[in-house]
Amino acid sequence: MTLRPSPISATVDFDADGVQHGFLKLPISTDISAWGAIMIPITVVKNGEGPTALLTGGNHGDEYEGITSLLKLANALTAEEVSGRVIIVPCMNTPAVMAGTRTSPMDKGNLNRSFPGDPNGSVTLQIADYFTRVLVPMSDVVLDLHSGGRTLDILPFGASHVLDDKAQQQAALEGAKAFGAPYAMVMFELDAEKLFDTACERQGKVFVATELGGGGTSTPQSMAITERGVRNFLIHYGLIAGEVEIPESGQIYLDMPDASCYVQSQHSGVLELCVALGDAVTKGQVLAYIFDMTRTGSEPVAYRAERDGILMARRAPALVNMGDTIAVIADVVDRLEA
Ligand SMILES: [Zn+2]
């Protein structure tokens, strides 16, 4: 079965040199806009021949380091700086970004669980489909900027995956390191099937993701890491001139070998994390307590590390429900001195 073309149309010309600010227009028909459109902002900066980099933020609508840094880059990047083409989409899931939520208020769609997408599906599936069939095929390298959002806080890292194609895996790992965050990671995903990552990797593209903080906001520190990282990424793949800058503190390389890295709650209550992000933990050590809020006199439940490593991510809100990830532990595999 052949799919119909995407219903999304672009107001920019992807083949034109110069800087263009425009939109990806997705037709909608709602109670408040009968002949309306979702307007996804896009910037294309092109200068002659060369590789194409696709830079994306707002895949989840409450992850602000990527959204903010790409809005800034779109305003700052000039065609003279670029060799090739840089496509910038700061707010991939625009309805979610406008609502300040992880998922879309229009269809509850989680964009990063919607790939490869469907041109006949809900709006979130239609957005995913446009990326899969239009923007990713025209790209050589893809950088998708995530952070923890409102419910997680995560160490800043560039990430790649274990792939069947070892040359593709190595190119992505080198990009994840060159992003120049304090950490770089080979990531184990709980369910990779419907990720943007997987849609890009299956097309043979070099794909780098990030996690860069969280808690539903950005900080001066996380913004500095993100902005330097985006420029490092473009430098590393030859899109702009310059030298990749690695942090003065060096870099720590992390690995997540399997699902035992994730500590998920089997209780509801108030969470007390006993270790801070970046702290070393040993197998059996108490990571967190969960307290029953409904009565006094009951002992809290202790959650212990099932492996050695460092605390890579934590739940941000103190209120926790059964099934929530409360902590993630990663292995330290190497350190790069600055
Ligand atoms: Zn995300």
Q: pLDDT per residue over 306-333, tens digit each?
A: 999 999 999 999 999 999 999 999 999 9
* Spacing, Cα 318 to ligand 1 middle (Å): 20
Span 98-104, mean pLDDT? 98
Task: Kindly list the protein residues that place their beta carbon closer than 5 angstroms to ligand 1, a single-atom ion.
Answer: 60, 63, 146
Q: pLDDT per residue over 194-229, tens digit each?
A: 999 999 999 999 999 999 999 999 999 999 999 999
Bridge partners, residue 36, by sequence: 28
Q: Taking 80 as the threshold, does the pLDDT of residue 143 lie above it?
A: yes
* Spacing, Cα 6 to ligand 1 middle (Å): 24
Residue 138, Ramachandran bin (φ over 0: left; ψ between -120 and 50: alpha; else beta)? alpha
DSSP secondary structure, 180-222, as one string: --SEEEEPPPS--TT-HHHHHHHTT-EEEEEE--BTTS--HHH
* Spacing, Cα 101 to ligand 1 middle (Å): 11
Bridge partners, residue 23, by sequence: 41
Q: pLDDT per residue over 231-241, tens digit each?
A: 999 999 999 99
Distance in angstroms (rounded) separating the CA atoms of residues 134 and 192: 21
Q: Where are the alpha helices (DSSP H) in 77-140?
A: 94-99, 123-130
* Spacing, Cα 13 to ligand 1 middle (Å): 28
Distance in angstroms (rounded) separating the CA atoms of residues 256 and 87: 30
Q: Taking 80 as the threshold, does the pLDDT of residue 151 lie above it?
A: yes
Q: Taking 90 as the threshold, does the pLDDT of residue 190 lie above it?
A: no
AA letter at 75 = N
Q: What is the pLDDT of residue 191?
A: 85
* Spacing, Cα 148 to ligand 1 middle (Å): 6
Q: What is the pLDDT of residue 140?
A: 98
Q: pLDDT per residue over 13-58, tens digit each?
A: 999 999 999 999 999 999 999 999 999 999 999 999 999 999 999 9
* Spacing, Cα 215 to ligand 1 middle (Å): 12
Q: What is the pLDDT of residue 244?
A: 96
Domains belonging to the chain, first-starting first, are 9-255 (3.40.630.10), 260-331 (2.40.50.100)
pTM: 0.95
Q: What is the pLDDT of residue 145?
A: 98
* Spacing, Cα 67 to ligand 1 middle (Å): 11
Lowest-confidence region among 255-259, 262-266, 299-303: 255-259
